[in-house]
Amino acid sequence: MYKLSGVTKRYSRGKETVDALRGIDLVIEDGDQLVIQGPTGGGKSTLLQMIGGLDRPTSGSVELDGVDLGRLSEAKLTKVRSENIGIIFQSFNLIPTLTAQENVETALVPMGTKTAERRRLAAEALTAVGLGERLGHLPSELSGGQQQRVAIARALVKKPKVLLADEPTGNLDEGTRDEIMALLEGLWQEYGLTFILVTHDSAIAKNAPRLATIKQGLVTVTEQRQAVRL
């Protein structure tokens, strides 16, 4: 479970300061899906970075299962992140010189998983996202939707409890967006993930069970429907 209490984030640009988050209180239960929407510059990505332990709040706390991420040492935070949190981005962030399978394997390196086991798990994760026939392809040999599938496999191969997605369909056409969203929805349910998704896309926001709207660093949560479970 996530518990955010009074989270603020102030960025300093020279003499100027930007209050990107201005006191966020939010609870996200295990297995829940939360969609974060809001105008550009509202603080969506900043909030996701706090939740993912990629950055620390200026004040307040971000607790994951009772552990305050902002107070962990860099080494402990890296460990929590690499074991528990999978992240996907708009721009896929794949390594261009590595094959799909090798890209997915990189997520298992910090855990010390042996080479043969890494290969097997990466192949399994790629098969789960529909790319079992493309293990040896480079990112440049795959479509945008397929590259995002590789990134999803990389995020999930370590079996994290949390999946974070920052505009995962922002670079995809509508049809591919729907395919990727259907895949993510299915994986969320199958793996019982806590799934937190940032989007500009109002069609995705409309379908979300729980919607957090963030404007000028402040959040409002709306319950839109009961999460549909398989």
Ligand X SMILES: Nc1ncnc2c1ncn2[C@@H]1O[C@H](COP(=O)(O)OP(=O)(O)OP(=O)(O)O)[C@@H](O)[C@H]1O
**Binding region for ligand X (CB under 6 A):** 11, 13, 18, 20, 38, 40-46
User: What SS3 class is residue 188?
Assistant: helix
Report the half-sphere exposure of 50 (CA within 13 A, side-chain side). Answer: 31
- List 8's β-bridge partners, or say none: 22, 59
CB of 192 vs ligand X, minimal distance in Å: 27
Annotate 6-63 with DSSP letters as a single string: EEEEEEEETTEEEEEEEEEEEEE-TT-EEEEE-STTSSHHHHHHHHTTSS--SEEEEE
By beta-carbon proximity to ligand X, the closer residue of 79 and 215 is 215
CB of 213 vs ligand X, minimal distance in Å: 11
CB of 228 vs ligand X, minimal distance in Å: 27
**Residue of 13, 93, 81, 39 lying closest to 219 (CA atoms):** 39
| Cα 219 from Cα 23, distance rounded (Å) | 9
Cβ-contact 110, 81 below 8 angstroms: no
By beta-carbon proximity to ligand X, the closer residue of 45 and 146 is 45
φ and ψ at residue 138, rounded to 5 degrees:
-80, 155
Burial 132-165 (b: 16+ CB within 10 A, else e): eebbebbbeebeebbbbbbbbbbbbbbebbbbbb
CB of 43 vs ligand X, minimal distance in Å: 4
Q: At 83, which helix (H) or strand (E)?
A: helix 74-84
By beta-carbon proximity to ligand X, the closer residue of 62 and 187 is 62
CB of 167 vs ligand X, minimal distance in Å: 7
By beta-carbon proximity to ligand X, the closer residue of 11 and 76 is 11
By beta-carbon proximity to ligand X, the closer residue of 46 and 99 is 46
By beta-carbon proximity to ligand X, the closer residue of 49 and 194 is 49
CB of 114 vs ligand X, minimal distance in Å: 38
